[in-house]
């Protein structure tokens, strides 16, 4: 019930929509900059936002305050994670290192000291190399679409690598490409599309992508500089342009505006609660943006903001916090 109340208050809030639109405006103004600079600027813009006070609500005769806070969470970023997967294709082995997304969005709903919901989305940013065309690296797509087990490099030679298993995950819920539309001149500067839809658009089946990666990994044993295979994705990347008559797609499978995606995440319509996805992101995604919705009875709404994952947050310069 509290989750739905939070959602209703967020949905009615125009200042949040204005702040999110500011991110799209930033991308448009800096669209020719390198991806890493765009993401850095987005994180800094997000982190400098002041908290939004939402309308209070009454439950069981008690009034609850409600607010939205914005954070950039600090991580160690790279080095890369390792995929080591034995497959039935020619008794092959798929082994390589790759990044674990460029950007993550975490949305929390807190009721005083109780975490009601936490969902995370992982985004891989790609700039167009021609209008409505990007190159998709298959070793990244394999991770983002099929989620094999991965390991995290040990801190020292004596340490044991950390292993992460992604059982029962659904990639269309939380695994996305963030396309920078630097070759499009349309309404939107960027869009978001699920990795599952990208795999469908490329015609990739699990055996097909495994076969390509087995062949690549075999080449790497004699040529360490062998480049990973890739495929050109050719489709309308601008939001609203990929509907096909007589064909139905779930909303999460469609290319949508980056602003619309962020609102979906805020409503908890996008993202996963899977702990392995969250825990690995907190270790290895270089840029994490957090939207934190905090509710509580009068006098208790200012919970200890330094606890939990937020003790690693990057604070806004000059921001003041009230700590109970």
Segment 133-164, tens digit of pLDDT: 999 999 999 999 999 999 886 665 656 778 99
Inter-CA distances, 9 with 64, 68, 223, 260, Å: 12, 10, 57, 17
**pLDDT band at residue 242 under the 50/70/90 scheme:** very low
pTM (two decimals): 0.88
Q: Which residues contact residue 319 at a Cβ distance below 8 angstroms, ignoring those fewer than 6 apart?
A: 50
**pLDDT band at residue 60 under the 50/70/90 scheme:** confident
- Mean pLDDT in residue range 32-36: 94
Lowest mean pLDDT among 75-89, 100-114, 168-182: 75-89
pLDDT, mean over the chain: 85
Residues in a beta bridge with 123? 103, 176
Interstrand relation of 52-59 and 81-86 (parallel, antiparallel or unpaired): unpaired
The answer to whether residue 91 scores a pLDDT higher than 80 is no
The answer to whether residue 252 scores a pLDDT higher than 60 is no
Please say whether the beta carbons of 113 and 303 come within 8 A.
yes
**pLDDT band at residue 311 under the 50/70/90 scheme:** low
Tokens standing for residue 85: 């997967």
Interstrand relation of 313-314 and 81-86 (parallel, antiparallel or unpaired): unpaired
Residue 323's pLDDT is what?
A: 26
The b-or-e profile of 226-259 (16+ CB within 10 A means b, else e) is eebbebebebebbbeebeeeeeeeeebbbbbbbb
């Amino acid at each position: 019930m509290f989750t739905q109340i939070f959602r209703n208050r967020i949905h009615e809030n125009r200042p949040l929509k204005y702040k999110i639109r500011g991110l799209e405006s930033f991308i448009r103004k800096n669209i020719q900059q390198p991806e890493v600079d765009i993401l850095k600027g987005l994180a800094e813009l997000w982190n400098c936002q002041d908290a939004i006070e939402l309308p209070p609500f009454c439950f069981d005769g008690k009034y609850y305050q409600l607010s939205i806070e914005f954070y950039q969470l600090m991580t160690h970023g790279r080095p890369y994670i390792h995929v080591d997967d034995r497959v039935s294709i020619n008794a092959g082995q798929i082994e390589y290192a790759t990044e674990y997304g460029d950007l993550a969005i975490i949305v929390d709903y807190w009721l005083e000291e109780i975490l009601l919901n936490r969902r995370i989305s992982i985004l891989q940013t790609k700039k167009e190399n021609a209008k409505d065309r990007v190159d998709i690296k298959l070793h990244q797509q394999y991770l983002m679409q099929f989620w094999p087990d991965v390991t995290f490099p040990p801190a020292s030679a004596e340490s044991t690598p950390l292993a992460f298993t992604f059982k029962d995950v659904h990639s269309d819920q939380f695994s996305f490409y963030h396309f920078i539309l630097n070759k499009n001149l349309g309404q939107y500067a960027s869009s978001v599309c699920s990795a599952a839809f990208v795999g469908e658009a490329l015609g990739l089946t699990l055996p097909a992508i495994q076969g390509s990666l087995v062949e690549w990994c075999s080449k790497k044993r004699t040529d360490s500089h062998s480049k990973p295979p890739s495929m050109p994705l050719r489709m309308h990347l601008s939001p609203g342009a990929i509907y096909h008559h007589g064909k139905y797609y779930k909303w999460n499978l469609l290319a949508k505006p980056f602003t619309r995606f962020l609102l979906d995440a805020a409503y908890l319509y996008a993202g996963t609660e899977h702990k392995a996805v969250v825990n690995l992101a907190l270790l290895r995604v270089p840029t994490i943006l957090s939207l934190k919705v905090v509710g509580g009875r009068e006098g208790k709404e200012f919970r200890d903001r330094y606890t939990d994952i937020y003790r690693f947050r990057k604070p806004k310069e000059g921001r003041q916090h009230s700590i109970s």
